[in-house]
Amino acid sequence: MPHINAGKTKPQYDVIIVGSGAAGGQTAYTLAMAGVKWQDGVSGQ
Protein backbone atom coordinates (compact mmCIF):
# COMPACT_ATOMS: atom_id res chain seq x y z
CA MET A 1 0.00 0.00 0.00
CA PRO A 2 1.50 3.40 -0.96
CA HIS A 3 2.26 5.97 1.72
CA ILE A 4 0.33 9.23 1.29
CA ASN A 5 2.21 12.34 2.37
CA ALA A 6 -0.09 15.14 3.57
CA GLY A 7 2.22 17.69 1.95
CA LYS A 8 1.52 16.22 -1.49
CA THR A 9 -2.25 16.04 -1.27
CA LYS A 10 -4.36 18.77 -2.82
CA PRO A 11 -7.35 20.27 -1.00
CA GLN A 12 -10.72 19.21 -2.35
CA TYR A 13 -13.77 21.44 -2.45
CA ASP A 14 -17.41 20.82 -3.23
CA VAL A 15 -17.89 24.23 -4.89
CA ILE A 16 -15.70 27.00 -6.32
CA ILE A 17 -17.27 30.46 -6.17
CA VAL A 18 -16.01 32.85 -8.84
CA GLY A 19 -16.54 36.45 -7.78
CA SER A 20 -16.88 37.81 -4.28
CA GLY A 21 -19.47 40.53 -4.82
CA ALA A 22 -22.78 40.63 -2.98
CA ALA A 23 -24.11 37.46 -4.61
CA GLY A 24 -20.82 35.56 -4.19
CA GLY A 25 -20.60 36.53 -0.53
CA GLN A 26 -24.16 35.46 0.18
CA THR A 27 -23.60 32.20 -1.69
CA ALA A 28 -20.44 31.49 0.31
CA TYR A 29 -22.23 32.19 3.59
CA THR A 30 -25.21 30.00 2.70
CA LEU A 31 -22.99 27.11 1.58
CA ALA A 32 -20.77 27.40 4.68
CA MET A 33 -23.81 27.26 6.95
CA ALA A 34 -24.88 24.09 5.11
CA GLY A 35 -21.45 22.51 5.71
CA VAL A 36 -20.29 22.67 2.10
CA LYS A 37 -16.54 23.00 1.48
CA TRP A 38 -16.04 25.95 -0.87
CA GLN A 39 -13.16 27.94 -2.36
CA ASP A 40 -13.22 31.56 -3.50
CA GLY A 41 -12.01 31.77 -7.10
CA VAL A 42 -11.12 35.50 -7.08
CA SER A 43 -7.60 36.21 -8.35
CA GLY A 44 -6.85 38.91 -5.75
CA GLN A 45 -5.68 41.59 -8.15
Quick check: is 22 in a domain?
A: yes
**Residue-number span of the structural domain to which 29 is assigned:** 13-40
Quick check: is 2 in a domain?
A: no
- Tell me the pLDDT tens digit for each residue of 15-24: 888 877 888 8
Q: Give the per-residue pLDDT at 12.
A: 85
Q: Give the per-residue pLDDT at 10.
A: 75
Quick check: is 19 in a domain?
A: yes
Q: Give the per-residue pLDDT at 33.
A: 95
Per the structure, how many domains does the chain have?
A: 1
Quick check: is 5 in a domain?
A: no
Yes or no: say if 41 and 16 are a contact pair by the CB < 8 Å rule: yes
Quick check: is 34 in a domain?
A: yes
Q: Give the per-residue pLDDT at 24.
A: 86
Q: Where are the alpha helices (DSSP H) in the chain?
A: 22-33
Quick check: is 18 in a domain?
A: yes
List per-residue pLDDT tens for the chain, 45 residues long.
Answer: 667 666 666 778 898 888 778 888 898 899 999 999 988 877 555
CA dihedral 12, 30, 28, 38 (to 10 degrees): 0
